[in-house]
């Protein structure tokens, strides 16, 4: 038994989709908790990975799952490394939520540890970083309309909406009793004002992953290339430079502590942020003259997202230790943004 997955109901649905026959075997949970669930299993000697919302889904979890599946379907045949989609189910009655099946990825996530090949070579690690920059450069070059994603997002005025959108998110945390609010976030007003005053005048729309960092990629076991970009729950159509800014905001640099999920050891050999920007530019036609703005926006947005868990922890709705850790990351992100704007 796997919590959140009725194997009999799943088998019946797979029968209707002509996805093998017989019992589901060796079902095991790959990830869980409050995050989306990943379940690996065998049927007819074929390996599947099922992805569905958590046991206690958020209000938009089912729609997010449908969007993920649609994006993976659209990426089929592209140069963007991604988990191949097998089938998707929008009928929430089957498992109590939308879900999809994908091929397993033969690779590893660097945040869980590096294999000997990668851990033993600074040159391999350098290429790993450059491969990350290439991944989103290639993604941002795709013609989203030709891929059938013309209605997937709202690219018009995308950048203009960002500061107000995330400020409203921060304001919503006031419902959590005990949260000390804006006082604990250094430079909040200054960063927001700088973003509003320095916003790029134009943006060419494209596909955004939305949460691009080291914990959301998998690398090949036999070398430094990407095996897949994973966790597409925030994907949309907007300004693809958002992804590069997000990568820079979460990239370890100097003495800045990186977010917990992006810590990789050993770090020596990975490219600097400037090298990542230059490499992205070599694989994209996009104007990078305002890339600092995108990095600052990423610090602002990610900091506000992380602060949500701290606010819930203040009200006893999340573990205090987790809330304190994520609040420290919010502070570090805003401090990085302040250094970048000078």
Give me the pLDDT at residue 31, please.
66
Give me the pLDDT at residue 3, please.
78
Instruction: Check whether residue 145 and residue 52 sit in a common domain.
Output: no
Give me the pLDDT at residue 255, please.
63
The answer to the question of residue 215 being in a domain is: yes
Question: Contact at 8 Å (CB) between 186 and 334?
Answer: yes
The answer to the question of residue 1 being in a domain is: no
Instruction: Check whether residue 168 and residue 291 sit in a common domain.
Output: yes
Across 220-323, the runs of DSSP E, i.e. the strands, are 226-229, 236-238
Give me the pLDDT at residue 84, please.
97
The answer to the question of residue 44 being in a domain is: yes
d(CA 82, CA 195): 32
The answer to the question of residue 273 being in a domain is: yes
Chain-wide mean pLDDT for the chain? 93
The answer to the question of residue 178 being in a domain is: yes
pLDDT digits (tens, 9 = 90+) for 120-171: 999 999 999 999 999 999 999 999 999 999 999 999 999 999 999 999 999 9
Give me the pLDDT at residue 210, please.
94
User: Which among 57, 85, 102 is the end of a domain?
Assistant: 102
The CATH number of whichever domain residue 161 belongs to comes to: 3.90.1200.10
The answer to the question of residue 245 being in a domain is: yes
> Could you say which residues of the chain have pLDDT below 50?
none
d(CA 235, CA 212): 10
Residue of 269, 243, 244 whose CA lies nearest to 110: 269
User: Which among 102, 136, 156 is the end of a domain?
Assistant: 102
Instruction: Check whether residue 95 and residue 114 sit in a common domain.
Output: no
Instruction: Check whether residue 42 and residue 187 sit in a common domain.
Output: no
Tokens of 16: 């209707």
User: Which among 68, 102, 136 is the end of a domain?
Assistant: 102
The answer to the question of residue 87 being in a domain is: yes
The CATH number of whichever domain residue 66 belongs to comes to: 3.30.200.20
What's the whole-model pTM score? 0.93
SS (HEC) of 147-199: CCCCCCCCCCCHHHHHHHHHHHHHHHHHHCCCCCHHHHCCCHHHHHHHHHHCC
Residue 30: give the domain boundaries: 7-102
Phi-psi region of 85 (alpha: psi -120 to 50; beta: other; left: phi over 0): beta
Instruction: Check whether residue 152 and residue 87 sit in a common domain.
Output: no
Instruction: Check whether residue 168 and residue 77 sit in a common domain.
Output: no
Q: What domain count does the chain have?
A: 2
Instruction: Check whether residue 63 and residue 142 sit in a common domain.
Output: no
Instruction: Check whether residue 31 and residue 143 sit in a common domain.
Output: no
């Amino acid at each position: 038994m796997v919590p959140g997955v009725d194997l009999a109901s799943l088998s019946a649905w797979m029968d209707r989709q002509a996805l093998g026959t017989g019992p589901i075997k060796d079902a095991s949970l790959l990830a869980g908790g409050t995050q989306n669930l990943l379940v690996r299993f065998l049927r007819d000697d074929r390996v599947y990975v099922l992805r569905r919302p958590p046991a206690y889904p958020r209000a938009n979890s089912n729609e997010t799952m449908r969007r993920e599946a649609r994006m993976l379907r659209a990426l089929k045949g592209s140069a963007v490394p991604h988990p191949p989609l097998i089938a998707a189910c929008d009928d929430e009655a089957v498992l109590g939520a939308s879900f999809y099946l994908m091929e397993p990825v033969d690779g590893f996530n660097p945040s869980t540890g590096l294999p000997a090949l990668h851990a033993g070579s600074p040159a391999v690690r350098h290429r790993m970083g450059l491969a990350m920059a290439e991944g989103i450069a290639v993604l941002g070059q795709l013609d989203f309309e030709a891929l059938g994603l013309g209605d997937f997002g709202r690219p018009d005025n995308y950048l203009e909406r960002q500061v107000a959108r995330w400020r409203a998110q921060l304001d919503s945390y006031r419902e959590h009793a005990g949260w000390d609010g804006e006082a604990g976030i250094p430079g909040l007003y200054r960063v927001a004002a700088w973003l509003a005053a320095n916003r790029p005048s134009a943006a060419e729309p494209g596909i955004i992953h939305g949460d691009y960092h080291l914990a959301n990629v998998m690398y090949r076991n036999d070398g430094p290339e990407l095996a897949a970009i994973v966790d597409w729950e925030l994907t949309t159509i907007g300004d693809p430079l958002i992804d590069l800014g997000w990568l820079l905001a979460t990239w370890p640099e100097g003495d800045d502590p990186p977010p917990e999920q992006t810590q990789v050891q050993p770090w020596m050999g990975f490219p600097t942020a400037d090298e990542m920007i230059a490499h992205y530019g070599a694989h994209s036609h996009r104007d990078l003259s305002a890339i600092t703005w995108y990095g600052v926006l990423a610090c602002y947005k990610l900091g506000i997202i992380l602060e949500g868990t701290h606010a819930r922890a203040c009200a006893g709705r999340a573990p205090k230790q987790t809330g304190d850790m994520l609040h420290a990351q919010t502070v570090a992100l805003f401090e990085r943004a302040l250094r970048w704007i000078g």
